[in-house]
Amino acid sequence: MGETFYITTPIYYVNDVPHIGHAYTTVAADVAARYHRLKGEDTYFLTGTDEHGGKVAATAAEKGMEPQAWTDQISQRFREVWPRLDISNDDFIRTTEERHIKPVQAFLQHLYDKGEIYEGEYEGPYCQSCEAFYKESELVDGGCPVHKRPVERLKERNYFFRLSAHAGWLLNEYYAQNPCPVQPDSRLNECVSFIKSGLQDVSISRPSLEWGIPLPWNPEHVIYVWIEALQNYITALGYPDGDKFKRYWPAVHLVGKEIVRFHAVIWPAMLHAAGVEPPKMIFGHGWLLVGGEKMSKTNLTGIHPFELVDAFGVDAYRYYFLREVAFGQDGNFSWESMEARYTSELANGIGNLASRVVAMIGAYFDAAVPAPSAPETDQDATLREVCEASVRDYTTAMDALAFHQALEAVDKIVRRANGYIVETAPWVIAKDPTQRDRLARVLFSSAETLRILAVLLSPFMPGACERLWGMLGSSSPLSHQVLPAAGEWGGLRPGSATHKGESLFPRLEQK
């Protein structure tokens, strides 16, 4: 069946509506999914919502609603955002669905039967906002390291997973023998340090909650939300016997850095204990910051994606965050930086390039792509070589989820192509009838560069690239292009009928 690629976002907690922090992860996962489809791989992309836990029940109560009615409402808000952002997910899992609940109970029953789960007593710090237990050493000034708020001190009878028994396997096999199980390296180092500091068994149940999945062997306990939520990545595929599970697992998980510990320590250990292959990779990206603070409703920085889409368009929205921020590191968002990227790289960069090239082909060759009959000059060769080198750099970066580096490689092509047009001045060549073949070579090379740009940028800006593809008059659909062949020089067919169309990236209104 060829190569398969399975990528997931975290499932988003339904205590509030989506903001651009949620969209950042989802767009990144979508770009990765589209890229692997572009390589011809059988790709599956999952996202969804995390709907159990005390925080959800408390929020629903504040709103005067039942938990299920609240989760139905907020989950739908997430479903409405993703199509507007051109998210191409293959599935959307909700943890209140039967297809999730039953396999979760079966999974934990299996661990219990194997002796991997036991009853004990927990006492220690607990953050209600994270719905997470912490070690004393992880607290910052006595508070939650994520929310900077005081923690609760819980003492209750729980069931525990024997996480400590899997420390050696995590360090010496999963981390040591896999190419890149946790990325970037800084996240891997954090996980190694966490384990070496003394891995403790982890609580998997709460006795005092009602909104959650009951333990199958003791219904008076509800499964701790993090333990059941992690399993969405396999329950959505029909674990344990579903065809999709057999076909696509293991996954690449994209998550925020604050939840790497759950995904890269607890989750692989649980899978290992159950005899299931662990994830292929956990990539913990950084935070989007506004004014130096993590974007969130708590910090009053929860910007809704539509605010930016309405102003800049969906393609510019998708481009900006993965261009501006090195994926894996924290990055600051500002309206001003988004305007600057849009104007310099999209409107004045690829947008201007497309408009000029297509307009000149229309004016000088009756809108038909000319054949490159003249010999290649040093200027032509340099443009071609920049494209070829940038395609290689792009592929290397995309395989490593280094989206900002991939877009830097693309921008090199755009800058060289715009420079090439200025240097060759086709409008001057067009005045000399004896230079007709030379003019054809220049405009073919420019249009071929646009073709390659449309292919490379299609995972990031699918709508704009479809429009660019239409401007070039290519007979084969953009969706049928497959790397690496589609990135090789010379794929544009002479004679293709170009169409000027509207500007790919109109100038922003000055306000």
Catalytic positions: 19, 22, 127, 130, 144, 147, 294, 297
In angstroms, the Cα distances linking 61 to 53, 72, 95 are 13, 14, 19
478: which residues sit within 8 A by CB, 6+ positions away? Answer: 454, 455, 458, 465, 466, 469
CB 481 within 8 Å of CB 450:
no
Q: How is residue 48 annotated by DSSP?
A: E
CB 201 within 8 Å of CB 164:
yes
72: which residues sit within 8 A by CB, 6+ positions away? Answer: none
Nearest to 184, CA basis, from 380, 405, 332, 5: 405
How big is the chain by its Cα radius of gyration, in Å? 26
SS3 392: helix
Ranges of H-type helices in 290-435:
305-312, 314-324, 335-341, 352-365, 378-399, 403-424, 426-429
- Beta-strand pair 288-290/331-332: parallel
- Please calculate the CA angle 167-170-176 and round it to the nearest 5 degrees: 135
| C-alpha to C-alpha distance for 355 and 9, rounded to whole angstroms | 36
**Which residue type occupies 354?**
A
SS3 readout for 67-121: HHHHHHHHHHHHHHHHHHCCCCCCEEEECCCHHHHHHHHHHHHHHHHCCCEEEEE
How is residue 248 written in tokens?
A: 């696509």
In angstroms, the Cα distances linking 346 to 340, 401, 471, 508 are 10, 22, 16, 11
| C-alpha to C-alpha distance for 227 and 348, rounded to whole angstroms | 49
| C-alpha to C-alpha distance for 501 and 284, rounded to whole angstroms | 40
Could you give the angle at which helices 403-424 and 352-365 cross, rounded to 10 degrees? 40
- Residue matched to tokens 């693309």: 410
How is residue 357 written in tokens?
A: 């090239």
Name the β-bridge partners of 6.
44
- Sign for the CA dihedral angle at 259, 459, 32, 74 comes to positive
